Amino acid sequence: MAKILAITNQKGGVGKTTTSINLAASLVATKRRVLLVDLDPQGNATMGSGVSKNELDRIAFDVLTGESSIDDVRITTMNGGYDLVPANADLTAAEVLLLQMDNKEVRLKSALQQIQDQYDYILIDCPPALNMLTVNALAAADAVMIPMQCEYYALEGLTALLDTINKIRASINPNLQIEGLLRTMFDPRNKLASDVSQQLTDHFGGKVYRTVIPRNVRLAEAPSHGMPVLAYDKSSKGAQCYLALAGEMLRNEEAAIA
């Protein structure tokens, strides 16, 4: 049965999509079966996986509205080896339609239950906002991974996100956990980044991944080629760090079971 992770932060530009794509590819490299669900109308995870978002017959929108099953929508990516439920701007309409539907918060959860036994991990790339799409992701997830930059405003955004997670726990998904906080685009030469990093570790302890994702040119270039950095340049620092993150996640799970 797949573990479902929502990769989210209400602040944009923190590396959610970069993490979604590259963690998916890194887990595949460890022989895990992975599904990536693109829930962001920008469709960046779709494009970054080498799929043209403007040439799709079915997307995540059709899954949420019940027009299609995930079986009908998913695509196997060529460069990443993971399956993808793609998205494009049409997903914006789902936000309005969901508000008029029964069980609007758990539409994604119901759809994923149909295929959950076919994967080891299901990763959900969330939009940078608290809307009905994000609520669906948090309702479906077992846990939340929070990518964040180590800067002042990131701490404010984190407080808002933790409040949201608590509300989802109280109302829809009492079992929702925080999987971990991932420091992204990290520059150790920046004193503020180091200070914020230390604050995170002091406050959240073991919930902060030891793996840190640095600023990396290859990591930034890979999406424009429609591939994870592992396929674009597997020797790059970015690729090695996402492989390390996958390994850390798997070790944490093994330790939790033991």
Whole-number pLDDT of residue 96: 84
* Across 75-103, average pLDDT: 92
Greater model confidence, 43 or 155: 43
Whole-number pLDDT of residue 211: 95
Q: Is pLDDT at 17 greater than 80 in this prediction? A: yes
* Across 200-220, average pLDDT: 91
What residue spans define the domains of the chain?
3-158+172-257
CA distances from 89 to 44, 86, 104, 191 (A): 10, 11, 20, 39
* Residue 82 and residue 121 in contact, taking contact as beta carbons nearer than 8 Å: no
* Across 22-37, average pLDDT: 98
**Model-level pTM?**
0.95
Distance CA 120, CA 224 (A): 28
Q: Per residue in 171-201, pLDDT tens?
A: 999 999 999 999 998 877 777 778 888 888 8
* Residue 3 and residue 142 in contact, taking contact as beta carbons nearer than 8 Å: yes
Q: For the structural domain made of 3-158+172-257, what CATH number should be given?
A: 3.40.50.300
* Across 110-115, average pLDDT: 96
Distance CA 163, CA 161 (A): 5
